[in-house]
Amino acid sequence: MLDKQELAKHFSRNLLRIRKEAGLSQEALGFLAGLHRTEIGMLERRIRLPRIDTLLKLAGGLEIEPGELLEGMRWRPGSSRVGHFRVGGEDSEPRP
């Protein structure tokens, strides 16, 4: 089961990769997304996870679909236990 730190790690990798592919500095992305440069830095350094409005602003600034920033992250609902997040490919555990 993943915790918030693991989610922040995976999100930060996606954000950093997509920002660099777009050829944008943190400051430029902040301007396009209506966010301060320090917010971009905190997201990329795994200090925080974005709120939904921040996720949408980032996607808009990068001109991508919000799901691209969440690529590789999944929620697996629980049946007789609490659900949990997954990062990466298909579930390796059989579903009960």
> Band of the pLDDT at 55, cuts 50, 70, 90?
very high
The predicted pLDDT at position 90 comes to 57
For the record, the structure tokens of 49 come out as 């996870």
Which tops the pLDDT comparison, 79 or 36? 36
**Which amino acid is residue 38, in one-letter code?**
T
- pTM exceeds 0.75 for this model: yes
C-alpha dihedral over 37, 43, 49, 50, to 10 degrees?
40
Q: For 28-39, how does the pLDDT look when each residue is reduced to its tens digit (9 = 90+)?
A: 999 999 999 999
Surface-to-core class of residue 31, CB atoms within 10 Å of its CB (0-12 exposed, 13-18 middle, 19+ buried) = middle
